[in-house]
Amino acid sequence: MATLSSSSSLWHGLSLRGSQSGSIARTRAPPSIGCTTFRRSFVVAASSGFANENREFVIVGGGNAAGYAARTFVEHGMADGRLCIVSKEAYAPYERPALTKAYLFPLDKKPARLPGFHTCVGSGGERQTPDWYKEKGIETIYNEPVTSIDIEKQTLTTNTGKLLKYGSLIVATGCTASRFPEKIGGNLPGVHYIRDVADADALISSLEKSKKVVVVGGGYIGMEVAAAAVAWKLDTTIVFPENHLLQRLFTPSLAGRYEELYKENGVKFLKGALIKNLEAGADGRVAAIKLEDGSKIEADTVIIGIGAKPAVSPFESVGLNTTVGGIQVDGQFRTSIPGIFAVGDLYDRIARVEHVDHARRSAQHCVKALLSAQTHNYDYLPYFYSRVFEYEGSSRKVWWQFFGDNVGETIEIGNFDPKIATFWIDSGKLKGVLLESGSPEEFQLLPKLARSQPIVDKAKLQNASSVEEALDIARSSLQVEASV
């Protein structure tokens, strides 16, 4: 995990999977420094399958960033016999978003399973199965976390005491889930957190026996897990302290539309609620959530989705700046220590961009900078999306995308049947757009609008009779901007 820092304000409030306050984005990354967040802090020792024991390139971590970095090494002809990936997990890098979506569907709803979502299928690329890494000559070492690093000797030590020599090191260790303290029941059987396949498998085991599910958190995790629980036909409640779902991004009106959809699917909401502790039943498993007002909610399965923390512990003792919410890097993802890079979730001094799209792009940019003459600094357009209720038999599948900056005043067009669009306008410029149930062509328009930030006729946009008309108005503004 790296962190971009700058004297200018950027990316305020982008941690959509974390605590929710403030707006989503400010300006794009400045030209000098950046930041990235670990996808997982694990590294493993070498195997004897490769002649080169002094590995030229080592990637620590096994998530999206590692997979996309590996592909970029291959594209530059620098992977075969030179690259090693070490990970805490037992699997080749995979597309992590699946874990809170289709992976949680019951068996009769055609759930996602590996190898179906190995990287890089999430961006339309080739599926990088374990055999792919073998074919490309990439050494992969699993199930052995890195516990320390010696920057003078350029070695990593794993939890079994093995040493792994590196030439250039890319840290892609990601985050760990924020947890409730043990003293308030955060580790009770039946309480779940989701960051990897093992977590998702444990949750599925609970869902198979569950009757009452409580999801804590009104962000991405909460919305996606609750939608998956509907497929199991379980009594499901979402509890969160904010006033509405996804408060960092959704306007109250937009959130209300989604909340009604969830209620139509049987999901209950408890908003503005503060949790005091989780209570165990006679069998030792979680049985209820006790709120600060003294009331209780029965639950035999609880999923906590309240954000994440950077997994930086093996690297904190060697002088890397981790005070900014990750490892501080420059615009090429270089840390303050020569030969060490960090990629993953993006940070500035205030908040982070913890999103799969950034993990992919930061990894690609970092490797290109390492292997080629690329000198331009990382420039990332904020992008967020979600897909819910996509299981077989669902009455309505939901897919929205957001690009840009959620600042200024908003204009909402459409009746959510099924389309709706929200436009953010600041000083006459179109700063950000969210679209629900758009066509592929309409979704392709969104990043163009967000990057160009054209001047739009607000009155004309407000009077649009449909989402399609509103998007045409925005497209016309884009064309006018190009002709000036």
Q: Is 134 helix (H, G, I), strand (E, B) or coil?
A: helix
Least confident range from 255-259, 304-308, 373-377: namely: 373-377
Least confident range from 13-22, 67-76, 78-87, 449-458: namely: 13-22
Q: What is the pLDDT of residue 324?
A: 58
What is the distance between the alpha carbons of residues 215 and 235, in angstroms, rounded to a whole number? 11
Residue 30 has pLDDT above 90, yes or no: no
Report whether the peptide linkage leading into residue 175 is cis, meaning its omega lies within 30 degrees of zero.
no
Task: Report residue 225: phi and psi, to 5°.
Answer: -70, -40
Residue 135 has pLDDT above 50, yes or no: yes
Burial class (CB in 10 A: 0-12, 13-18, 19+), 62: buried
Residue scoring higher pLDDT (241 or 43): 241
Q: What is the pLDDT of residue 25?
A: 35
**Confidence at 330, pLDDT banded by 50, 70, 90:** confident
Contact between residue 455 and residue 426 where contact means Cβ atoms under 8 Å apart: no
| Joined tokens for residue 318 | 């060697």
**Confidence at 75, pLDDT banded by 50, 70, 90:** very high
Q: What is the pLDDT of residue 313?
A: 76
* Predicted confidence (pLDDT) per residue in 191-230, tens digit: 999 999 999 999 999 999 999 999 999 999 999 999 999 9
Residue scoring higher pLDDT (26 or 152): 152
Least confident range from 129-143, 294-308, 333-347, 426-440: namely: 333-347
Least confident range from 45-54, 207-216, 236-245, 342-351: namely: 45-54
Give mean pLDDT, residues 93-120.
95
| Joined tokens for residue 369 | 């900078």
Give mean pLDDT, residues 149-175.
90
DSSP state of 45: P
DSSP string, 21-35: -S-S--SPPPSSEEE
Task: Give Cβ neighbours of residue 382 (< 8 Å, ≥ 6 apart).
Answer: 11, 14, 24, 25, 353, 402, 403, 404, 405, 432, 450
Least confident range from 162-171, 213-222, 461-470: namely: 162-171
* Predicted confidence (pLDDT) per residue in 224-279, tens digit: 999 999 999 999 999 999 999 999 999 999 999 999 999 999 999 999 999 999 99
Task: Give Cβ neighbours of residue 233 (< 8 Å, ≥ 6 apart).
Answer: none
Q: How many helices (H) and strands (E) does the chain have?
A: 9, 27
Residue scoring higher pLDDT (358 or 201): 201
Least confident range from 59-63, 206-210, 283-287, 466-470: namely: 59-63
Q: How far is CA 199 from CA 205, 347, 386, in A?
A: 10, 25, 20
Q: Kindly state the percentage of the chain with pLDDT values over 90.
A: 69
Residue 67 has pLDDT above 60, yes or no: yes
| Joined tokens for residue 84 | 């090693």
- On average, the pLDDT of the chain sits at 85
**Confidence at 460, pLDDT banded by 50, 70, 90:** very high
**Confidence at 2, pLDDT banded by 50, 70, 90:** low
As a whole number of Å, the CA-based R_g of the chain is: 23
| Joined tokens for residue 218 | 């009104």
Output b/e per residue, 343-360; b: 16+ Cβ within 10 A.
bbbbbbbbbbbbbbbbbb
What is the distance between the alpha carbons of residues 436 and 402, in angstroms, rounded to a whole number? 9
Look up the pTM and report it: 0.85
DSSP E strands in 45-98: the ranges are: 54-60, 83-86
**Confidence at 478, pLDDT banded by 50, 70, 90:** confident
Chain centre to alpha carbon of residue 472: 31
Q: Which domains does the chain have, with CATH numbers?
A: 54-176+310-371 (3.50.50.60), 182-306 (3.50.50.60), 397-482 (3.30.390.30)
Q: What is the pLDDT of residue 14?
A: 23
What is the distance between the alpha carbons of residues 322 and 352, in angstroms, rounded to a whole number? 13
* Predicted confidence (pLDDT) per residue in 285-294, tens digit: 999 999 999 9
